[in-house]
Structure 1
Amino acid sequence: MRALAVDGSPESVEHLIGALAAALDGSGPAVVPGLVEVPAAEVPDDVAVVIATSGSTGEPKYVMLTAAALTASARATEARLGGPGRWVLALPADHVAGVQVVLRALLAGQPPVVQDVREGFRPAGFVRATRRLPHGARRYVSLVPTQLLRILSDAGAALHALAGYDAVLVGGAALAPALRERAEAAGIRVVTTYGMSETCGGCVYDGVPLDGVDVRVAEDGRLLLGGPTLARGYLGDPGATAESFAGGWFRTGDVGRIDDGRVTVLGRADDMIVTGGEKVAPAAVERVLAAQPGVGAVCVVGVPDPEWGSLVAAAVVPSGPEPDEKALRDAVRAAEGRAAVPRRFLFLDELPVRGIGKPDRRAVADLLAVTPVHIPNDPTR
């Protein structure tokens, strides 16, 4: 294995590009993007990339991605988006989403244009990266919701640049409906993605699986993913591999449903809130709140309560003046029922995040645990 420090600079990404190209064609060893300590275990010959991921539990896992799976993912993305094109890399290249941008670009015949994100994502830097793309070629970029929001808020040249892309993949965290509507109203061609390191990144686009990808719902409500983009397993952890990969399926930690072939992710199974004996899916509450006027971003968690077991609580980033709490509660009650109504609200300038932009639910829960209850207990519960 070859571990590479990828700090977001164009120089470090250039080294990664060469190493990935060699790993894909078999002339070089498997690549580990990022200087992490991986288990002292034998890497199968067909593995090209090992992604270190902490997931939602904080426990490290080392996902083995084969050249065949990575290529299948990149080709399926290319087909879904309408053909090969030039990519801008605006994500950290030590995450699977960043690695996939590099691989898609290489398979399309040109390396990606790299935005320097060592000091964080800046709309002005995105404009400079976009200007380096050739005219006439299809343009693609992959972003997280926070980056999309920054470009929309910055407006001006960055928004004009983003509107010129043939597809803007948005993943890593749930995209609020209001944010998507705002982006599309500005002419942005948004494509939401769902996937994880174990599926070579996004494998479901706008709720529809990529060609060759299979999705099922297990008896316990968890989503099962199958097809050619699945990882080989976890390096040095046969127990975890056997638990998560079986019979050609990867057992995700997400609860979801499938309606007429379209996948809806309801949230993490371990994020489900049990309040007064009733189960509440945080993602369902987040969707309702995110659709309300004045809500820019939201994260819903459960916080301990001696009477109810857990209380539903929400951290909200306003898009302007603070929205009315009663209006927010009423909207949730109408859509999801009394049990789902948040008992606590906390308004923040921005949500705590981890990784490439996922809300840090543990940090949010810690903040909400000391936030006073805003409404009395509902005697009808």
Structure 2
Amino acid sequence: MQVAFSVGDFLARAHTVYPERVAVVDEPQQTAPSWGELTYADVMRLARSQAATLDELGIEPGARVAMISHNAARMLVSFFGVSAWGRVFVPINFRLAAAEVEYIVDHCGAEVVMLDPDLAHLADVIDAPHVFVLGRDDDRIWSSRAEPRPWEPDENATATINYTSGTTARPKGVEQTHRALWTNATVFGWQASVSDRDVYLHTLPMFHCNGWGQVYGVTGMGGRHIVLRQVDGAEILRRIAEHGVTYLCCAPAVLAMVLDALETWEGEVPGRDRVRCVVAGAPPPTRTIERVRAELGWEFIQIYGLTETAPLLTMSRMREEWDDLEAPEQARLLGRAGAPALSTSIMLDDSGEILARSNTVLQGYWDNPDATTEALAGDWFHTGDGGSYEDGYVTIADRKKDVIISGGENVSSIEVEDALASHDAVREVAVIGTPDERWGELVTALVVADGVTADELIAHCRERLAGYKCPKRIEFRDELARTATGKLQKFKLRQEFWAGHDRQVN
């Protein structure tokens, strides 16, 4: 017997086993009226109503339904109300400019667009047959009492299109199938020990890789979702204390915010010896990993992946063999990207690029066959990341395009960033190559810091790095350009330095 996988399986199980359990605690502070607490019976009722409404609007299976929203219960429900009945859900980054949203909606051909009330002005630039504003138009989205038309699951059908986060100039629409999302959610959940006792805090934007699949995996196990609309270090600590949070996913920048908030936190640290924190987006500094484990008392887990891989490719988590090692060495080992997840194969090509094969790899880029062919050349997914793969563990050295070639030597920007971040005064750092007539590219650091000089930071690096790796130029900034998930947008940081050059390599 073979039964097709569907993302609807996760809600179906939760509704069957835990119908009266609180499933979602909605964000209380938002423009649309909060939905408060929803049971899994409520979530199923709302999802079925949304699917029936799409039937009534004539939206056929395979059609695209987009949502541009901050984290909200309405969005969590829509992952099921749209895709579990055969349509394609397109969650869009709410931080994008109007022209970028207009491009994505047009590119994917969305027939329905749902907007957060704070983004209602986007209705003026969106060309779609049906545009709704959440809260204001709830009775037009979730009021149907009809039975939704049944959909025979096709695990190879596209369930979501997730647009790349903007580290390249034009986002690409990543098509993920029901099979890929199902596999990601179950493998991720198993390896991260997700259970029906978990209380999950949505610090990660739900639009990003479908919340890394947690909207599905936590639901399937009957866990409780705590919706957080706006990331704030102190608020994260308050929610953990209030709701008994056990599990969260975030970027290193979010961890830094929590650690900063801890300095003025009064009382016991929330979640000590209870919270599992899964981190990805960029390799965090070793010192940050040590602080999370020592000062917060949270378990630190690192994963590596991309929007194109749903995202899980590798996971780094404490193992028995490391128990007797000193804390700094444990942190160093945890700082690696991790070992391949179940059913994932990893290899390096001759240039050192990390290639992957997995059931979670994208089906293709929407309406972009050339990019699809390039990404899947040789029947391997080409990540664009350089690194090493030794003793069963992947270590990310750098984005291939972020390697700085200075004086003929390759310099990993991540290695330099780690050295700078180990200085107590440094809050954020990005290292890029800038054009230089003598060296070709100059190792340049853009730093957010307090009470330290450029000379002091360079001297700090010289104690930790070879001389040619140390930054030759340091500029102080008030903030650094990042995506909504905390990933540095280095292409934006480079622009001011490379203006007038034909290419961003020298």
Output the TM-score relative to the length of structure 2: 0.64
**Aligned residue runs from structure 1 range 160-309, under 5 A:** 160-163=269-272, 165-186=274-295, 187-206=297-316, 207-309=338-440
SS at structure 2 position matched to 1:51? strand
Give the ranges of 4+ consecutive aligned residues of structure 1 lying more than 6 Å apart after TM superposition: 367-370
Please state whether the residue corresponding to 2:168 is helix, strand or coil.
coil
User: Structure 2, unaligned stretches of length 5 or more?
Assistant: 1-62, 93-100, 111-153, 317-337, 500-506
Match of 2:69 in 1: 7
- Which residue does the alignment assign to 2:249? 142
Counterpart of 2:479?
350
Query: For 2:405 and 2:90, how far apart are their aligned partners in 1?
Result: 39
Q: Which residue of 1 aligns with 2:207?
A: 94
- 1:12 is matched by which residue type in structure 2? R
**Secondary structure of the equivalent of 1:74?**
helix
Q: How does 1:10-21 map to 2 (within 5 A)?
A: 10-19=72-81
Q: SS of the residue aligned with 2:270?
A: helix
Greater CA deviation, 288-297 or 217-226? 288-297
1:254–1:265 CA contact under 8 A, matched in 2: yes
Alignment partners' CA distance in 1, 2:266 and 2:364: 43
Q: Which residue is equivalent to 2:258? A: 151
Cα distance in 2 for partners of 1:363, 1:83 equals 37
2:232 to 122, 129, 152: 122
8 Å Cα contact 1:303/1:365 also seen in 2: yes
The whole-number CA distance in structure 2 between the counterparts of 1:291 and 1:200 is: 31
- Offset at 1:245? 1.0
Query: Residue 64 of structure 1 aligns to a residue in which SS?
Result: strand
**1:377 alignment counterpart:** none
Q: CA deviation at 1:293?
A: 4.2
**Contact 1:91–1:98 (CA<8 Å) still a contact in 2?**
yes
Deviation of 1:302 (Å) = 0.6
Query: Which of 31, 43, 50 is matched with 2:89 structurally?
Result: 31
Q: CA deviation at 1:271?
A: 1.1
CA deviations 1:319-341 (Å, max 9, x no partner) are x532x645543554565433222
SS at match of 2:414: helix
Q: Which residue identity lines up with residue 244 of structure 1 in the other structure?
A: A
Residues 55 and 363 (structure 1), Cα distance of their counterparts in 2 relative to 1, 3 Å cut: closer
| Structure-2 change in CA distance of 1:149 and 1:75 (3 Å) | same
- In the alignment of these two chains, the number of paired residues is 357
1:71 alignment counterpart: 182
Q: Is the 8 A contact 1:127 1:158 kept in 2?
A: no
- Deviations along 1:340-379, whole A, 9 cap, x unmatched? 2211112334333223111222343356789xxxxxxxxx
* CA distance in 2: counterparts of 1:96 and 1:262, whole angstroms: 23
- Mapped to 2, the partners of 1:152 and 1:159 lie a distance apart of 14
Aligned to 1:270, what secondary structure does the other structure show?
helix
Distance in 1 separating the partners of 2:266 and 2:309: 35
Q: Quote the offset at 1:182 in angstroms.
A: 1.3
Question: Aligned-residue CA RMSD in angstroms?
Answer: 2.8
1:124–1:158 Cα contact (<8 Å) kept = no
